[in-house]
């Protein structure tokens, strides 16, 4: 029973022939002949795009057939937080799937039960360059020098602005496709530099006056985390540093809260009760001029209200005093410690994250899924989707935005709680509804942060 | 001017019907809203034009077709039915035996046992939910519908036992003493004397166990994620909401379809239920 | 299986020596009882007591579950504004909802009791639907009703000349939404209990009152209400237990928002324990419910014990 170990195999691969590096098809082919049939239980997010899951499953099944593995796939959901519930159940029970796709921070709740995947991550980084910094933050433990998770494309998405070109043009005098053209080479960095939160506020004011306000949830939802977290960061507000010092009480936070206090005057009043889908409905119905969301809103609008969809343009977030940040909700793969055939699981993960497979998955996701390896940005899907043509071209980072998540740069174990308890959106809500002054809200937030520390 | 008795009665009935109207509107409006949503086209659901309280464009069966053809609705239905039925049987066996022993066969601690049973009813599911992971894992039943057979009885058995204790306690002792002297075994006594007399209570407890099992949401949501193993509640919720995309028409239609069996069951057995529940819990 | 066999074994050698066997059978009674109660005990110990004790144990540990920290999870909560907010929410939710359910249920029961038998059966059945429907599914319907952009209620309010209400986004209205949904779900239960109670009041009492010249309101006050009071007490306590431990409605309608103002103990424990990854503290939050429920249980049991005297 000579079994080629991963390390030996990879050595051969990395050092090796152009042929292997070029096709890189099947690490597992080698093990096929040697080992008995393995079973892998795989939990994937139940993608809302019809057919996306089928493509993903087909890739897995094809690999499984070739490698004498039986793959059982479960589709989990509906939302990221439900997957977390399931993972908690499995971690407690010490049984369940072998491989799971989890949402942001989730793996940090189960570090003790996750198998480090360093060899796979290192192999992929060597071949394709570094993972996106956010992906690394969410998947790599600096303390343990371990990759407890692998950044994955399916389900991963970010929160650009999704705006009505017609309303912005007519009422705010901003030509969005000109500012953020569907071609990175035509982008004028200087003009983009002028796209700041101040400019956006002016636009929001005018759009509100015209009867088509900007709308985004300030509520206990992941959408709330995913636009407010980055906004706070771009004003220099950080909840906690990596060492656990609470840093929320800062001028940056005050500035951000004051800014938001003004902005909410030009937003619908019910944003405090919006769920993850409310901003979608807002823009689909034609009532709103702008939201921050992945292309799911536009995609549904294409089907239900095509005349509104044809006016939507996805583009960069505004810049604040401390930089330009965009929220992202990244999925990653974990492998549970109890997995019986770890080698097979690693082979599969490596296979799934190779360019050929990612390519197919990204195409099937119709542009919704976001890769965490930069070479994948070259995929044509974001150019091809429409109407209007090129609307989601800028869904992929084309300029100076940095992808972040609400809770960054706290240690991810603390970040997990900040995100899960929606502390940042609640602080913003308290400050902007007048329930508290910005200072009080900041203090309240500091108390919440103390509570999660231990 | 005084009215005749018949006139008085008639007026009373008319007024009562009038007073009933607001209640019926309150009770039925959500169902009506769900029903019309399930027949509206996606375009109409997402638009803000016109009167939302009626179906304005051509009604569509597309949502129901989707539920029945594109999802595993029928499999969930079967699972829900099977699990609820088996749980009900288990519950009844455990509860009847337990209630009988507690109410009739005196043994050490039997006096406090009834109280103890009732107190287990107090442990909130949201608390048990976390340690149940361990139990379910230990049994190796995570991600199978069978784990529900172990979890649901924790919700059904205490209450059913308690109802039945009330019932059994109300049966005159003379009855079973006579049977006892006649040489009946305890099981015979149970089947020949107790069960027939307590029939309404049994029906009430059965219905209770069935509806509670049918309606459970948290446990299946947490422990079952394989499509073919799901039951209706979590199947509908997890399949018809995806990320931030909600299939409203399908959700509403699915929720209505999933409710039909229990509603039918109640239509036939309601009288027993009412009688059993009220008597059992008062006495 | 075991139980049944023991029953069979317990069968006496019939009629041969009736006196002696009666004695031995009385003795065997205890064993029969033990066998019969065994499944119940196994179920309760294995699936309620053990998990309960485990979560108590868990609540004494630190976040990483590596260290015993005593009562720290509990004491920390007490110094924590959000915990008191949640406590207030839970009581407000329970008291308001139970009050309305009890009142509306009584009114509805009185109305239905006036109807002729045929109509009564039909409308009682219809009124029971909210309670029979799986709550998780009907809550989704309510959610769609309160949905901000497409809210059916707001549309009606505007047509009636009112202004749209910020359902689910303003703490007050979000609480109202949760409570209304709970009232919708729970009123039929009260109605059913009361209706049965009304049926058990002897007609002769009313006739006597009528002869004494009592008007409708007086009849209610001096006949109906006293006769029902015990039943009302028990029903209210029962409903209190179930309402206090509610999870589905808040989970689906508001997820605790806006700003934690609709979180109940159950949903908040879930949020801290599962979603924010602090299981021990989540358990501590859930355990705070137990004493409150215990008080309700005490009153129920006292009421019932009295009834048996």
Give the C-alpha separation, B249 to B255, whole Å.
10
What confidence tier does B107 reach under pLDDT thresholds 50, 70, 90? low
- Closest chain C residue to the Cα of B24, Cα to Cα: C127
pLDDT of residue C22: 62
Give the C-alpha separation, A423 to C259, whole Å.
9
pLDDT of residue B2: 61
Q: Is A105 helix (H, G, I), strand (E, B) or coil?
A: coil
Cβ atoms of C253 and A429 within 8 Å: the answer is no
pLDDT of residue C27: 63
Q: Is A153 helix (H, G, I), strand (E, B) or coil?
A: strand
The tens-digit pLDDT sequence of chain A (454 residues) is: 344 444 444 444 444 333 333 334 344 434 444 456 789 999 998 888 878 889 999 999 999 999 999 999 988 877 777 888 888 888 888 888 999 999 999 999 888 899 999 999 999 999 999 999 999 999 999 999 999 999 999 899 999 999 999 999 999 999 999 999 999 999 999 999 999 999 999 999 999 999 999 999 999 888 999 999 999 999 999 999 999 999 999 999 999 999 999 999 999 988 988 888 888 989 998 999 999 999 999 998 998 899 999 999 999 999 999 999 999 999 999 999 999 999 999 999 999 999 999 999 999 999 999 999 989 999 999 999 989 999 999 999 999 999 999 999 999 999 999 998 899 999 999 999 999 999 999 999 999 998 887 6
Of A79, A93, A280, the CB nearest to B133: A93
> What one-character-per-residue DSSP string does B65-126 give?
HIIIIIS-HHHHHHHHHHHHHHHHHHHHHHHHHHHHHHHTS--TTHHHHHHHHHHHTTS-HH
Tokens of C15: 């009629």
Give the C-alpha separation, B100 to C36, whole Å.
8
Q: Is A76 helix (H, G, I), strand (E, B) or coil?
A: strand
- Contacts with C274 from chain A: Cβ below 8 Å: 84-85, 88
pLDDT of residue B244: 66
Question: In B228-247, where does DSSP find H-type helix?
Answer: 232-240
- Length reported for chain B: 283
Give me the sheet containing A312-315, strands edge to edge.
Answer: A290-292, A161-164, A312-315
Beta bridge partners of A161: A292, A315
Do C166 and C140 lie in one domain? The reply is yes
Cβ atoms of A293 and A159 within 8 Å: the answer is yes
Cβ atoms of A384 and A143 within 8 Å: the answer is no
Q: Is residue C141 part of a domain?
A: yes
β A38-45/A69-76 pair status = parallel
- DSSP annotation of A94 reads T
Contact between chains at B134 and A284 (C-beta distance less than 8 A): no
Cβ atoms of A346 and A115 within 8 Å: the answer is no
User: Is the C-alpha dihedral spanning A44, A47, A50, A55 positive or negative?
Assistant: negative
User: Is the C-alpha dihedral spanning B176, B182, B185, B190 positive or negative?
Assistant: negative
Q: Which residues contact A377 (CB under 8 A, 6 or more apart)?
A: A371, A396, A397
pLDDT of residue B108: 66
> What one-character-per-residue DSSP string does C141-167 give?
HHHHHH-TTT-HHHHHHHHTT-----T
Q: Is residue C64 part of a domain?
A: no
CATH architecture for segment(s) B64-282: Orthogonal Bundle (1.10)
Secondary structure of A144-194 as H, E, C letters: CCEECCEEEEEEEEECCEEEEHHHHHHHHCCCHHHHCCCCHHHCCHHHHHC
Q: Which residues contact A325 (CB under 8 A, 6 or more apart)?
A: A230, A231, A233, A234, A317, A401, A402, A403, A404
Tell me the residues of chain C between 171 and 230 that have a Cβ less than 8 Å away from chain A: 174
Tokens of A329: 């909700």
pLDDT of residue B279: 65
Of B13, B107, B214, the CB nearest to C33: B107
- pLDDT single digits (tens) C23-74: 666 667 777 778 888 899 898 888 888 888 988 999 999 888 888 999 999 9
Do C106 and C252 lie in one domain? The reply is yes
State residue A426 phi and psi, 5-degree precision. Answer: -65, -40
- DSSP annotation of B183 reads T
- Closest chain C residue to the Cα of B48, Cα to Cα: C150
Question: Within its chain, how far is the Cα of C62 from the centroid?
Answer: 32
By the CB < 8 Å criterion, does A212 face chain C? no
- For chain C, how far is it from start to end, CA to CA, in angstroms? 37
Contact between chains at C150 and A219 (C-beta distance less than 8 A): no
Q: Is residue C243 part of a domain?
A: yes
By the CB < 8 Å criterion, does B137 face chain A? yes
Where are any strands of DSSP class E within A46-145?
A: 69-76, 99-102, 140-141
Give the C-alpha separation, C111 to C119, whole Å.
11
Percent of chain B with pLDDT over 90: 34
- Closest chain B residue to the Cα of A96, Cα to Cα: B142
CB atoms under 10 Å from CB of A262, counted, come to: 12
Reference C108, options A374, A321, B16; nearest CA is: B16
User: Is the C-alpha dihedral spanning A11, A17, A18, A19 positive or negative?
Assistant: negative
Does C292 have pLDDT greater than 90?
no
- pLDDT single digits (tens) C239-285: 998 899 888 899 888 888 788 999 999 999 988 888 888 889 999 99
Contact between chains at C47 and B150 (C-beta distance less than 8 A): yes
Reference A427, options A398, A412, A401, A406; nearest CA is: A406
Q: Which of A41, A57, A89 to probe the B interface (max B CBs under 10 A)?
A: A89
Q: Is residue C65 part of a domain?
A: no
Reference A223, options A167, A180, A269, A161; nearest CA is: A161
pLDDT of residue A24: 40
Cβ atoms of B142 and A89 within 8 Å: the answer is yes
Closest chain B C-alpha to A371 CA, distance in angstroms: 18
- pLDDT single digits (tens) B4-53: 778 888 888 899 999 999 999 999 999 999 999 999 998 888 777 777 88
Contact between chains at C147 and A278 (C-beta distance less than 8 A): yes
Q: Which residue in this structure is represented by tokens 């006096």?
A: B111
Do C53 and C179 lie in one domain? The reply is no
User: Is the C-alpha dihedral spanning C92, B252, B236, B158 positive or negative?
Assistant: positive
Do C130 and C36 lie in one domain? The reply is no
Do C143 and C211 lie in one domain? The reply is yes
β A99-102/A38-45 pair status = parallel
CB atoms under 10 Å from CB of B183, counted, come to: 16
H or E element: which one contains A439? Answer: helix A438-453
Q: Which of B27, B92, B267, B279 to probe the C interface (max C CBs under 10 A)?
A: B27
Tokens of B170: 């109300």
Longest CA span, chain C: 87
β A140-141/A325-335 pair status = unpaired
By the CB < 8 Å criterion, does A213 face chain C? no
Contact between chains at C290 and B115 (C-beta distance less than 8 A): no
Do C225 and C97 lie in one domain? The reply is yes
Closest chain A C-alpha to C221 CA, distance in angstroms: 44
CB atoms under 10 Å from CB of A88, counted, come to: 22
Give the C-alpha separation, A317 to A292, whole Å.
9
By the CB < 8 Å criterion, does C301 face chain B? yes
Tokens of C226: 């006293």
Contact between chains at A304 and B243 (C-beta distance less than 8 A): no
Do C13 and C76 lie in one domain? The reply is no
What confidence tier does C6 reach under pLDDT thresholds 50, 70, 90? very low
Contact between chains at A78 and B134 (C-beta distance less than 8 A): no
Q: How many domains does chain C have?
A: 2
Cβ atoms of B79 and B229 within 8 Å: the answer is yes
Q: Which residue in this structure is represented by tokens 């005196």?
A: B106
Which of C36, C58, C80 is where one domain is finished? Answer: C58
- pLDDT single digits (tens) C296-309: 888 877 766 544 43
ipTM above 0.90, yes or no: no
Mean pLDDT of chain C: 84
Tokens of C215: 């008007």
- Closest chain A residue to the Cα of C148, Cα to Cα: A270
Domains defined along chain A, listed by start: 6-156+330-378 (3.40.190.10), 158-328+384-453 (3.40.190.10)
Q: Is residue C66 part of a domain?
A: no
Do C129 and C265 lie in one domain? The reply is yes
Do C302 and C259 lie in one domain? The reply is yes
CB atoms under 10 Å from CB of B229, counted, come to: 22
pLDDT of residue C26: 62
- Contacts with C155 from chain B: Cβ below 8 Å: 51-53
Q: Is A323 helix (H, G, I), strand (E, B) or coil?
A: strand
Contact between chains at B140 and A89 (C-beta distance less than 8 A): no
β A69-76/B245-246 pair status = unpaired
CB atoms under 10 Å from CB of B107, counted, come to: 17
Cβ atoms of A227 and A159 within 8 Å: the answer is yes
Of C80, C150, C256, the CB nearest to A451: C80
Give the C-alpha separation, A102 to A116, whole Å.
15
Residue-range definition of the domain harbouring residue C29: 2-58
Do C19 and C168 lie in one domain? The reply is no
Do C90 and C49 lie in one domain? The reply is no
Question: Within its chain, how far is the Cα of C197 from the centroid?
Answer: 19
Give the C-alpha separation, B75 to A316, whole Å.
45
Of C148, C254, C278, the CB nearest to A278: C148
By the CB < 8 Å criterion, does B69 face chain A? no
- Contacts with C55 from chain A: Cβ below 8 Å: none
| Dihedral angle over CA of C288, C289, C292, C294, nearest 10 | -110
Question: Quick one: angle between helices A251-263 and A423-432, nearest 10?
Answer: 60
On the question of a cis peptide bond just before residue A409, with omega within 30 degrees of 0, the verdict is yes
Give the C-alpha separation, C264 to C245, whole Å.
8
Do C164 and C98 lie in one domain? The reply is yes
CATH number for the domain that contains residue C175: 1.10.3720.10
pLDDT of residue A35: 55
Ranges of CATH 1.10.3720.10 domains, chain B? 64-282
Q: Which residue in this structure is represented by tokens 């597309």?
A: B62
pLDDT of residue A34: 44
Give the C-alpha separation, A389 to A391, whole Å.
6
Q: Is residue C283 part of a domain?
A: yes
pLDDT of residue C298: 83
pLDDT of residue A6: 43
> Chains with 3 or more CB pairs closer than 8 angstroms to B?
A, C
Give the C-alpha separation, A442 to A255, whole Å.
11
CB atoms under 10 Å from CB of C1, counted, come to: 5
């Amino acid at each position: 029973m000579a079994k080629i170990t991963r390390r030996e195999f990879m050595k051969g691969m990395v050092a090796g022939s152009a042929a292997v590096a070029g096709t890189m098809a099947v690490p597992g082919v080698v093990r096929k002949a040697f080992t008995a049939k393995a079973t892998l239980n795989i939990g994937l997010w139940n993608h809302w795009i019809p057919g996306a899951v089928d493509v993903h499953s087909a890739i897995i099944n094809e690999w499984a057939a070739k490698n004498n593995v039986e793959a059982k796939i479960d589709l989990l959901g509906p939302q990221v937080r439900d997957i977390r519930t399931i993972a908690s159940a499995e971690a407690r029970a010490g049984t369940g799937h072998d491989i799971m796709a989890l949402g942001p921070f989730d793996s940090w709740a189960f570090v003790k039960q996750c198998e480090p995947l360093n060899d796979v991550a290192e192999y992929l980084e060597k071949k394709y360059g570094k993972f996106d910094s956010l992906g690394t933050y969410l998947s790599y433990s600096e303390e343990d020098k371990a990759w407890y998770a692998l950044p994955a494309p399916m389900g991963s998405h970010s929160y650009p602005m999704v705006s009505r070109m017609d309303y912005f043009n007519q009422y705010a005098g901003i030509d969005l496709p000109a500012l953020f053209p569907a071609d990175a080479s035509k982008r004028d960095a200087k003009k983009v530099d002028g796209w700041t939160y101040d400019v956006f506020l002016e636009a929001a004011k005018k759009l509100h006056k015209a009867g088509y306000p900007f709308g985004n949830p300030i509520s206990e939802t992941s959408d709330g985390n995913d636009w407010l977290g980055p906004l706070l960061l771009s004003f220099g507000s950080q909840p906690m540093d990596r060492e656990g010092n609470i840093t929320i009480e800062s001028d940056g936070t005050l500035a951000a809260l004051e800014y938001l206090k003004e902005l909410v005057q030009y937003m619908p009043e019910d944003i405090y009760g919006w769920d993850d889908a409310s901003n979608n409905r807002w823009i689909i119905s034609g009532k709103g001029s702008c939201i921050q969301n992945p292309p799911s809103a536009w995609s549904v609008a294409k089907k239900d209200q095509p005349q509104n969809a044809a006016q939507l343009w996805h583009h960069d977030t505004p810049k604040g005093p401390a930089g330009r940040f965009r929220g992202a909700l990244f999925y990653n793969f974990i492998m549970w410690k109890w997995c019986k055939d770890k080698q097979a699981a690693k082979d599969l993960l490596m296979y799934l994250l190779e360019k050929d497979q990612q390519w197919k998955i990204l195409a099937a996701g119709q542009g919704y899924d976001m890769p965490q390896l930069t070479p994948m940005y070259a995929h044509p899907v974001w150019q091809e989707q429409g109407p209007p043509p090129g609307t989601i071209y800028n869904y992929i980072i084309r300029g100076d935005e940095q992808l972040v998540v609400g809770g960054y740069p706290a240690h991810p174990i603390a970040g997990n709680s900040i995100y899960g308890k929606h502390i940042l959106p609640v602080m913003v809500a308290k400050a902007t509804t007048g329930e508290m002054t910005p200072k009080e809200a900041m203090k309240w937030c500091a108390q919440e942060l103390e509570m999660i520390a231990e | 001017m005084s009215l005749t008795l018949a006139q008085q009665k008639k007026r009373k009935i008319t007024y009562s019907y009038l007073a009933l109207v607001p209640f019926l509107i309150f009770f039925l409006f959500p169902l009506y809203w769900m029903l019309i949503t399930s027949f509206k086209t996606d375009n109409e659901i997402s638009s803000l034009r016109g009167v939302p309280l009626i179906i304005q464009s051509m009604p569509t069966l597309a949502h129901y077709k989707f539920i029945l053809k594109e999802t595993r609705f029928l499999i969930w239905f079967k699972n829900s039915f099977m699990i609820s039925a088996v749980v009900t049987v288990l519950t009844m066996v455990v509860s009847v035996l337990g209630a009988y022993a507690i109410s009739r066969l005196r043994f050490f601690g039997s006096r406090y046992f009834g109280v103890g049973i009732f107190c287990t009813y107090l442990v909130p599911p949201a608390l048990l939910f976390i340690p149940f992971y361990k139990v379910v894992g230990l049994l190796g039943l995570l991600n199978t519908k069978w784990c529900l057979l172990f979890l649901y009885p924790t919700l059904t058995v205490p209450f059913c036992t308690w109802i039945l204790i009330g019932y059994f306690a109300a049966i005159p002792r003379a009855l079973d003493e006579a049977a006892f002297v006649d040489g009946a075994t305890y099981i015979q006594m149970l089947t020949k004397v107790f069960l027939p007399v307590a029939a309404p209570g049994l029906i009430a407890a059965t219905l209770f166990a069935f509806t509670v099992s049918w309606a459970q949401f948290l446990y299946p949501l947490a422990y079952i994620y394989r499509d073919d193993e799901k039951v209706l509640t979590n199947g509908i919720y997890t399949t018809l909401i995806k990320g931030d995309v909600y299939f409203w028409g399908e959700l509403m239609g699915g929720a209505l379809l999933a409710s039909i069996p229990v509603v039918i069951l109640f239509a036939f057995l309601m009288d027993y239920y009412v009688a059993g529940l009220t008597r059992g819990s008062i006495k | 299986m075991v139980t049944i066999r023991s029953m069979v074994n317990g069968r006496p050698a019939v009629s041969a020596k009736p006196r002696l066997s009666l004695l031995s059978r009385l003795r065997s009674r205890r064993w029969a009882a033990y066998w019969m109660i065994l499944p119940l005990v196994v179920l309760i110990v294995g699936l309620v007591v053990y998990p309960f004790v485990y979560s108590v144990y868990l609540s004494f540990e630190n976040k990483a579950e590596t260290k015993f920290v005593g009562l720290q999870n509990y004491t920390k909560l007490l110094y924590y504004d959000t915990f008191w907010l949640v406590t207030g929410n839970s009581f407000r939710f329970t008291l308001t909802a139970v009050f309305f359910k009890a009142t509306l249920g009584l009114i509805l029961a009185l109305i239905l009791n006036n109807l002729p038998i045929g109509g009564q059966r039909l409308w009682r059945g219809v009124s029971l639907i909210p309670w029979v429907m799986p709550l998780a599914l009907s809550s989704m319907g309510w959610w769609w009703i309160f949905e901000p952009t497409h809210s059916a209620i707001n549309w009606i309010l505007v047509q009636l000349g009112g202004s749209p209400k910020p359902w689910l986004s303003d703490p007050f209205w979000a609480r109202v939404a949760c409570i209304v949904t709970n009232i919708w779900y729970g009123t039929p239960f009260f109605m059913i209990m009361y209706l049965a109670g009304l049926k058990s009041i002897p007609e002769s009492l009313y006739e006597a009152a009528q002869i004494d010249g009592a008007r409708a309101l007086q009849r209610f006050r001096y006949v109906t209400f006293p006769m029902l009071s015990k039943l009302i007490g028990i029903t209210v306590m029962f409903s209190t237990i179930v309402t206090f431990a509610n999870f589905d409605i808040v989970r689906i309608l508001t997820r605790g928002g806006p700003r934690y103002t609709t979180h109940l103990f159950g949903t908040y424990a879930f949020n801290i324990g599962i979603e924010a990854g602090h299981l021990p503290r989540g358990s501590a939050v859930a355990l705070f419910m137990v004493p409150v429920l215990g008080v309700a249980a005490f009153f129920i049991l006292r009421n019932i014990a009295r009834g048996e005297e």
